[in-house]
A and B are shown apart, each in its own frame.
Chain A
Amino acid sequence: MAEDSDQFNGRMGLIFASIGAAIGTGNIWRFPRMVGANGGGTFLVPWLVFLFIWSIPLVIAEYAMGKRSRTGTIGTFRIFAGKKFAWMGLWTAWISTAIGFYYAVVSGWTIKYFQLGITGALNGENVDTTEVWNAFLQNPGQVIFFQFLVIALTLAAIWKGAKAIEKVNFYLMISLFALLFLTLFLSLWMDFSDGSLDGALFMFTIDFDMLFEPEVWINGLSQSAWSCSAGMGMCITYAVYMSKDEDTVLNAFTMGLANNSISIIAGLAVLSAIFAVNPDPLGTVTEGSSAITFLALPEVFAQAPFAPVGPLFMMAGFFLALSFAAMTSMISTVELCVRNFVDHGFEREKSVALTGVALFLFGLPSAVMWIKLDDSGVAFPQFLEVQDHIWGYGLMFSGLFIAFSIWKYGYMRWKSGVEAGVAPPGFKGYLGFGVSAFRDDFINTGDNDIIVGRWWDLLMYLAFPILFSVLMFSYFADMIANTDNVWSPTNPNGLGIILLFWGVIAALFISFNKFLIRRPLYRNIPKGADVDISSLPGGDDELVVALGEVAPGFEHLSKEYSIEAELV
């Protein structure tokens, strides 16, 4: 009767899958731009600081929650924040999936450019990269073909569940490392052959005047928050497949540091190459990310040493690495969505197929609609940009919801502790008992080598809300200050459209919450794992059962009954 739970084979599987989720195009095409626009090495300071005070603590929380709840995002919030808040998980899943719609298109671009690179179409004296780009983007058939290809590959990779995911991620990540190192080697060669390693120098030199500019810090925070996928539900999802005694803290550190390692390698490779041959390197790297990647870099790579092999290797290698980075993120996006369906009793294959079809259909507008030319005659997909504009910052709220669950748990534990006479009353008691409750109960479970100290509480309770507010406020203030007609919901670059969509989605999900919690939730529990949830807000939920058990009131979901239902 019981169905086996689905696990990763080992620790490295989880690590590689998580790193794959964290490393995306953001590391390779956004990071160099941020370094360029924020004073080179200056930017590395806040970027590193925020890795430790924002990204890693959140990832620790995500792993801890997922490992205990053993469900995807909806189930995790149902268990950790309580029945009323299952919609938070739905929000998290939706934002990730909505981004997936257009991310598949973007991933398609990278594969297309790998194809162009390997066939040598981007090499040669007379290649106008703008023309190549415009021709591609304005050809709906091509864009859709590569979007489809990405989705097909992604579905194939996750069809069979955790085992396949870890295997695919493992190979892709190893190849990505290798390819990036190849590119880095050639880039440094190029940069050095013009006499100085100015790209590398720039990337590691701190400008002390800029170091005190708030904008650099805000940019560092946003880069750290996005590129690591912290607080976006990916790690909750992958933690579902953790073996029972895995160390969440060490995993979080490994994932965060690996993510930043890749960023540094990619940043160094891109900047060195651009500085080597571009007369106005900083003007170039501060252009939009897609402009750097698809317009500037092919031009630069074409001038790689050891022609014709060097440029070919560099071009193909870089874009292959980029597409691998995109693919692994795509995998985690789809898995996040699929996991939620599976948790609610859907067959995995059907969930995967459903998600795949949705990704393709809802990604189509982003692929082909509103392909415009900007001031300098470069094509860009405006519908896709608007989607990114609307959903990009919605990710922040997923992080906030995680923090909310932690805060709620702390307060709840302290209150019930006071009632039971085991916790000291008063604010001091709350600080001592309540604030550390989540950490004591779910992080320092005894499985971890690194014991997390009081610093984590400080970061979750103090640093997180401050940084969250700074990030949201500065983003909105910037937008209000720099956008005409910013409140009008018809302005695709405005704030009105964001608030409208968020509002509609949030309202829809909140009202949908009662349907969500009427359904049984099946937890993916490995044998012998300590997954007691009785102290959690969702712990008394009768409908939350382990996979293979029967939820009360849902005994009819037996095989016989199902067939009957089919016959009727």
Chain B
Amino acid sequence: MIQNGKVLRTRPSFGVLIVLPLLLSLFAPIANADFAQEEPTGTEPGDIWSDDYNNMIFPWASENERILQFKEYHTYDTMKTRMLRLAEDNPDIFQFHEGMNGGTNARGEEVTANAYEGWFYGHASPWLKITGDVQDGEYNPFVGDTGNYADRRDVMIVGNHHAREWMSYTVAIMQMEVIAFSYNNIGYDNDGDGLIDEDPWGDADGDGILDDDGDCLRLATSPTNYQDSNGDGTNCGPGDLGVDEDYSEQFITDLVNSREIYLIPMLNVDGNIYDRDVYMPGQCPNEEAWDCSAAGWRKNLRDNTVTGVTPIPDLDESVDEGCDGVDLNRNYQFEWGAPLGATGPLVPGACYAGQNNDVYNGPVDDTDNDGDGQINEDHVDGKDDDADGVTDEDWWGGNSEPETKFIQDLTEMNDDTGDGSSEFKATITHHSFSELILYPWGHCTDCQSPDHEQLKYHGQQLADMTQYANLQSSDLYPTSGDFCDWHYGVHGSYCYTSEIGTAFHQHEDDIDHIAVRNIGTGFYIAEIADSPRERADLAIANISQQNYLKAGDKVEIPAEGDIPVDLCVSAQFPYSESQSKIEWRTVKPSRLQSDYGPREWATTPWQSVDVNMVEGESCSLPDGNGTVLRGMIPISETAIGKLHYKATLSTLSGSDLFQYPAEGAYYELDLSYRAAYGSFIGSLFMFGLTATFVWGGLAVCLRMMLSDEEEIDLAAPESIEIEPSEAVLIAENA
């Protein structure tokens, strides 16, 4: 007999190798699935949130990327690199541009792409076109972008009109990061507390407290005051840990899919580079900008010294800090040059030699814009000043700078619907500093715009979420030729100026929490961009807030057929039946259910059903009876699991994103099996069939087998004694 076992000693490699893969089992990766059990409790941030969140480590970059983590400021170059990277990574929603192609603009002028390039450094403002399926939709040859859809309103978000206002472009960049990270990343747990979407921007539940989920308010205030993590003196204010920290990714996704967002983080590239690289180092050579007492460079870099009022770019000449540059936010044409207060130049278009006029609004335009032989006879103010039947056709000045021309042409060359007016119905421009929200007008004091109440309403919403002060722009100080007066005055766009933070060059340590504090405003503007006036009217009259969708525990599931879900709409609400819908999806037990793990679910994509007004039924609302809009959700009687549903309501005039129960949220309904468990006859038949096939088949097999050979009685003890060879013999003899 060969002692085969000896092989183990002579050649151990075989045994070792065959066992080697077993070791692999031990290298299974660390489990990263956390299972939520209950709301976290505790009085320190570490008890509630993830370490990343507590240290303001944002999920879109690794911890050591200080700029992407908003621990250091972006420069023009890092910003552009990041924009390109995000556009490359998110080609469905982001499209990168610099300036525009040009062509014939809305005023009939021929413009080339270089008209939008900065005077000094020669860069056009980089910007992102953000919308769902941005690579599809109409192509706009002048602007150069695709993703133009007639049914999507346009939103403009502009940062850094003024070079030294560094938080103003930082907030816009953070919005870009948030969109890139959140789009279609539904249900992300931003703060790592195991809950999702529990605290959106602003005061969602209307109780006057920003911290909707109350997690910040649970923190201890002594010995360490955890409630004021940003140290601004306000406990659980915006920008503090745990406040507005877990917004709905679904909401952001819906917004991106229904709006065209034009995000221009750094309009004044020339000025920004100059402020950072030349001006501030010149003022305080060995100090960081925030430690320097100098205010910083504000304007763009128009060369005012050499050629006076009609300059030609002179790139060889260095900047004359005493005279050069134009305040871009005084250079828009609406009521341009109206000499108001201390901020306007005494002589419009003039430069004060030897002293820096920070609010110089650009040269006077003495060309005959309409070719009628007269000049400056009809100022841009929305009125027909010379009563010739044409409005604003020959202006006095303004719009002389590459940056303002860019904004003007981008605004005026976006008319997706072809109705002759700009698509931009809501805009925001970030500035710093003062912790203010400003709305038009700016050019007149003691005056109110036709939309004053409505503008003030939305301004208050922005102010509530940032805890800034809401003011009419001219109540701070009068200005002429600013972005918002022009956008509102000429294009009817609800335009807001947010004055962010407490310094031009805000201290580096404060970048992250101030950016977080202001991140919601850009999204709010995008949301109301469909019809800001109507939204304000409905909200001021407390109409839109009353509408509600029947909650899960109120919905009655019929014994058979579709499940009716009711939307109760105020009688004052101008709903559009055809544009409104109820979206639903189901959560079913997953086919991937593991035998040993927790229950797993599979979620179907959202589908929508139409809603129909139900005659003769009403529902109760605080202001009386409302109209019932019913959607019939087609759920099979055999379905089990959960039903998720939410409603989107549109108005007749096109406000399209009234979401119920709340932005990005939905209700849940438990589904139980409603069908009969079975029929007697049917089951009898199937039982017969199964029994015939399985048991009948088995019987046939066993019969064949037994008739083939005698079964050896395994239970008989003697069978153990049968030697193998004998057993084979027995089998052979049988």
B694 contacts chain A at the CB level, 8 A cutoff: yes
* Chain A facing B: main interface SS: helix
How far is the CB of B57 from the nearest CB of chain A, in Å?
18
Residues of B within 8 A of A247 (CB): 705, 708
- B residues within 8 A CB of A479? 592
B476 interface contact, C-beta 8 A: no
In contact, B698 and A6 (Cβ under 8 angstroms):
no
What's the nearest-Cβ distance from chain A to residue B477, in Å?
Answer: 51
Interface centre among A166, A170, A378, A382 (most CB of B within 10 A): A382
Contacts of A153 in B (CB 8 A): none
Q: Which residues of A contact B708 (CB under 8 A)?
A: 11, 247, 250, 449
| CB–CB B10/A565 < 8 A | yes
B3 touches A350 (CB 8 A): no
Is B615 an interface residue when CB atoms closer than 8 A count as contact? no
699-713 of chain B: CB within 8 A of chain A:
701-702, 704-705, 708-709, 711-712
Q: How far is the CB of B704 from chain A (nearest CB, A)?
A: 5
- For the complex, is A189 an interface residue (Cβ under 8 Å from B)? no
Distance of A508 Cα from B22 Cα, bound (Å): 12
Q: Inside 8 A of A492's CB, which chain B residues have their CB?
A: 28-29, 31-33
Residues from chain B with a CB closer than 8 A to the CB of A30 are 595
Give the contacts of A198-214 with B (CB-CB under 8 A).
Answer: 198-207, 209-210
Binary interface encoding of chain B residues 232-251 relative to chain A, with 1 for a CB under 8 A from any of its CBs, else 0: 00000000000000000000
Contact in complex: B638, A39 (CB < 8 Å)? yes
CA distance A512 to B598 in the complex (A): 37
Instruction: Tell whether A566 pairs with B638 under 8 Å between CB atoms, given A7-B728, A358-B22, A390-B28.
Output: no
A207 engages B7 (CB within 8 Å): no
B596 x A207 contact (CB < 8 A): no
Whether a CB of chain B sits under 8 angstroms from the CB of A149 is no
**Residue from the set A106, A199, A243 with the largest chain B CB neighbour count within 10 Å:** A243
Residue of chain A at shortest CB distance from B4:
A345
Q: A260-B694, A264-B690, A264-B694 are in contact. Are A565 and B596 (CB under 8 A)?
A: no
- Give A491 to B598 CA distance when docked, in angstroms: 16
Chain B residues numbered 652-670 whose CB sits less than 8 Å from any CB in chain A: none
B691-731: contact bitstring with A at CB < 8 Å (1 yes, 0 no)?
00111011001101100110110110001101011011011
Q: Shortest CB–CB separation between residue B265 and chain A, in angstroms? A: 29
Inter-chain contact B15/A372, CB cutoff 8 Å: no
A118 within 8 Å of B by Cβ?
no
Contact of A205 among B26, B636, B682, B705 (CB under 8 A): B682
Report which of A4, A280, A362, A565 forms a contact with B725, defined as CB distance below 8 A: A4
Residues of A within 8 A of B712 (CB): 9-10, 12-13
Q: Which A residues are CB-close (under 8 A) to B541?
A: none
Bitwise interface map of A from 363 to 382 toward B, beta carbon under 8 Å scored 1, else 0: 00100001011111110111
Of the listed stretches B61-69, B206-214, B318-326, B671-679, name the one at the interface; the rest are far from the partner chain: B671-679
- Shortest Cβ distance from residue A151 to the other chain B in the assembled complex, whole angstroms: 15
Asked if B104 is at the interface (CB within 8 A of a chain A CB), the reply is no
- Does A444 reach chain B (CB closer than 8 Å)? no
Assess whether A289 is in contact with B595, with CB atoms less than 8 Å apart: yes
A204 touches B694 (CB 8 A): no
Residue from A243, A341, A346 in contact with B731 in the complex, judged by beta carbons closer than 8 Å:
A243
- Asked if A218 meets B591 with Cβ closer than 8 Å, knowing A167-B720, A201-B677, A382-B597, the reply is yes
- Residues of B near A512 (CB, < 8 A) are 17
Q: Mark A183-222, 1 if CB is under 8 A from B, else 0.
A: 0000000000000001111111111011000010011000
User: With A48-B694, A275-B677 in contact, do A290 and B595 touch (Cβ < 8 Å)?
Assistant: yes
Q: Which residue of B lies closest to A196 (CB)?
A: B677
Question: For A341, what are the chain B residues with a Cβ–Cβ distance below 8 Å?
Answer: 18
In the bound assembly, the distance between CA atoms of A203 and B687 in angstroms comes to 9
Contact B722 A250 (CB under 8 A): no
Q: Is there an interface contact between A493 and B720, defined as CB atoms closer than 8 Å?
A: no
Question: In this complex, what residue of B is CB-closest to A450?
Answer: B704
Q: How far apart are B545's CB and chain A's nearest CB, in angstroms?
A: 33
Q: List 10 A-B contacts (CB under 8 A).
A: A4-B725, A10-B709, A207-B638, A207-B675, A345-B7, A346-B15, A388-B594, A479-B592, A490-B32, A548-B2
Closest 4 CB pairs of A and B: A374-B598, A205-B678, A201-B678, A562-B6
Which residues of A pack against B, CB within 8 Å? Answer: 1, 3-13, 15-16, 25-26, 29-30, 33, 37, 39-41, 44, 48, 90, 94, 97-98, 101-102, 106, 163, 166-167, 170-171, 198-207, 209-210, 215, 218-219, 243-245, 247, 250, 253-254, 257-258, 260-261, 264, 275, 280, 282-283, 286-291, 341, 344-347, 350, 354, 358, 362, 365, 370, 372-378, 380-390, 449-450, 475, 478-479, 482, 489-493, 497, 501, 504-505, 508-509, 512, 515, 519, 522, 526-528, 548, 550, 557-559, 562-563, 565-566
Q: With contacts A7-B727, A291-B599, A375-B598 known, what are 14 further pairs, Cβ within 8 A? A: A1-B2, A10-B714, A10-B730, A11-B705, A25-B595, A98-B22, A101-B25, A163-B724, A245-B731, A247-B708, A288-B600, A354-B19, A374-B599, A491-B33
